[in-house]
Amino acid sequence: MDTPPAHHEETNPPPPIPLPDLPSDLLPILVSTEDGRVRARVTGAELTTLLAGLGTVGNRYAVVEHAKIEDQVFIQAWRGDDGAYRVEHRAGSPQQHFTTSTADPAYVADLLTSWARGDSSWLAADWKPTARATTD
C-alpha cells in the first residue's frame, strides 16, 4: 500500500468574501406593521420614516421587538385619525405594560430608537400603566 508523500507546505486560506457596506446605525430589531410586513435590522432613519407614515387605514401601528425575541417584551406605536401617537412598552407581564402619548413623530422615533439601542433615555418619558396593567 502506497502512502502519499507528506507535504509540509503552508496553505493559504481563501481570501475573505467582501461584505457590502452596511449602515453603521443598523438597529438589532424586528419591526412588524399592521399591513403584515416584518422588517429586520432597520436603520434609525428608516424607523423614523416608517413611524411618520403611520396613520392610514391598514397602517396605524408598528411593533418593535429586539431581534433576540423575548416573550412579551416590546415597544409599539399606534397613530390615530387625529395624528396623535400612543406608544406602549411591555417588559414581560401585564403589570409591566405602560403607555404614553404624543403628537410628535420625531419624539416617537427617538423613544423607539433609544429602546432598540438599549440605552435608557426612553425611560424618561411620562409612562403610565395601561388599563390592562392595572386590571390583570
The pTM of the full predicted model, rounded to 2 decimals, is 0.65
Distance (Å) of CA 48 to CA 39, 44, 70, 114: 13, 6, 23, 12
- The Cα angle at residue 58 between residues 86 and 76, in degrees rounded to 5: 30
Q: What is the DSSP letter of 14?
A: P
Calculate the CA 116 to chain-centre distance: 5
Instruction: List the domain boundaries for the chain.
Output: 29-135
pLDDT at position 135, please? 61
By three-state DSSP, how is residue 77 classified?
strand
The model's pLDDT over 88-108, given as tens digits with 9 standing for 90+, comes to 998 888 888 999 999 999 999
The model's pLDDT over 31-61, given as tens digits with 9 standing for 90+, comes to 999 989 999 888 889 999 999 989 888 889 9
